[in-house]
């Protein structure tokens, strides 16, 4: 089980220097990852996720990082691939790329003219994942589909490094998002309007993924939750028993301050 922390990229956290400091604190305290929300405009100030993660990478040596999750339909596929490859190279292979269809009920998605319905966004996500996978592997890509048209020579990649892991959001108990995530490297399960999936739901999701993938292929399953400190491990142990590979503590929207997050980070992760 690995242990991460999840913070917004806006409000009191909307400062690249603050996020870089939190990343350094997380690494010093023994956390395995610091992950960011990815929103353009919820409350001000807000910062760009990729610039923030660049600063985080420069302040750390082993900490993993990534957006959980970035809405692929809102991103230009070539720019997203180039940003991911650049940050993965800079960080020495520490990027995790979380991807989803986007959540239009928050203003930063719809405020800029993206009014596509869920079915269309899901189709864009499916096709985009296939294209992005090839770009991140350093393959030349010729692809002409309903949503992407690409004629691109290979992007340079590090030959000794695996492709950036792709974690895909899934709103359990919907089956199609889980089947989509199972084709890639990890799943970020959430309930509607809630990051914390219940224990029974987590077990059901893991069982479904294993039926699709089999038992032997590595696959990451995140479990969001909150603990009081390093010794508060009951929920973490239950998540690990169910098959989760990452326990990720989080700061909910409108709850907690940077100082609260820093204090919790410095206590260290709840290792079983």
The domains found in the chain, sorted by start residue, are 2-267 (3.20.20.30)
Confidence of residue 257 (pLDDT cuts 50, 70, 90): very high
The whole-number pLDDT of residue 70 equals 95
DSSP for 125-167, written as a single string: HHHHHHHHHHHHTT--EEEE-SS-EEEEPPPP--TTSPPPPEE
Average pLDDT, the chain: 93
The whole-number pLDDT of residue 265 equals 97
The whole-number pLDDT of residue 272 equals 83
The whole-number pLDDT of residue 150 equals 97
Averaged over 24-35, what is the pLDDT? 98
pLDDT at 193 over 70: no
Confidence of residue 111 (pLDDT cuts 50, 70, 90): confident
**What is the C-alpha separation between 80 and 148, in angstroms, rounded?**
14
In the chain, what's the furthest Cα-to-Cα distance?
53
**What is the C-alpha separation between 86 and 80, in angstroms, rounded?**
10
Averaged over 12-38, what is the pLDDT? 97
Instruction: Name the 3-class secondary structure at 70.
Output: strand
**Can you give the pTM of this predicted structure?**
0.96
Confidence of residue 243 (pLDDT cuts 50, 70, 90): very high
The whole-number pLDDT of residue 215 equals 74
Confidence of residue 124 (pLDDT cuts 50, 70, 90): very high
Instruction: Name the 3-class secondary structure at 152.
Output: strand
- Nearest CA among 241, 242, 234 for reference residue 271: 234
Confidence of residue 192 (pLDDT cuts 50, 70, 90): low
pLDDT at 144 over 80: yes
| Stretch among 72-76, 188-192, 203-207 having the lowest mean pLDDT | 188-192
């Amino acid at each position: 089980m690995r242990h991460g922390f999840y913070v917004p990229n806006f409000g009191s956290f909307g400062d690249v220097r603050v996020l870089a400091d939190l990343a350094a604190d997380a690494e010093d305290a023994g956390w395995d990852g610091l992950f960011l929300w990815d929103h353009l405009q919820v409350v001000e100030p807000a910062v760009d996720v990729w610039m923030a993660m660049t600063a985080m990478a420069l302040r750390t040596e082993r900490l993993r990082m990534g957006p959980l999750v970035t809405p692929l339909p809102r991103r230009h596929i070539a720019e997203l691939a180039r940003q991911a490859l650049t940050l993965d190279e800079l960080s020495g292979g520490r990027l995790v790329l979380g991807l989803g269809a986007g959540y239009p009920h928050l203003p930063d998605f719809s405020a800029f003219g993206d009014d596509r319905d869920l079915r269309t966004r899901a189709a864009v996500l499916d096709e985009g994942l296939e294209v992005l996978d090839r770009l991140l592997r350093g393959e030349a890509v010729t692809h002409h589909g309903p949503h992407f048209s690409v004629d691109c020579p290979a992007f340079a990649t590090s030959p000794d490094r695996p492709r950036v892991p792709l974690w895909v959001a899934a709103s359990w108990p919907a089956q199609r998002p889980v089947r989509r995530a199972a084709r890639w490297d990890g799943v970020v399960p959430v309930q509607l309007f809630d990051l914390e999936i219940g224990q029974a739901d987590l077990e059901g999701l893991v069982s479904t993924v294993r039926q699709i993938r089999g038992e032997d292929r590595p696959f990451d399953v995140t479990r969001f939750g909150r603990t009081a400190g390093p010794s508060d491990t009951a929920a973490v142990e239950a998540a690990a028993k169910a098959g989760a590979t990452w326990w990720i503590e989080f700061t909910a929207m409108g709850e907690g301050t940077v100082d609260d997050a820093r204090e919790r980070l410095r206590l260290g992760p709840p290792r079983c």
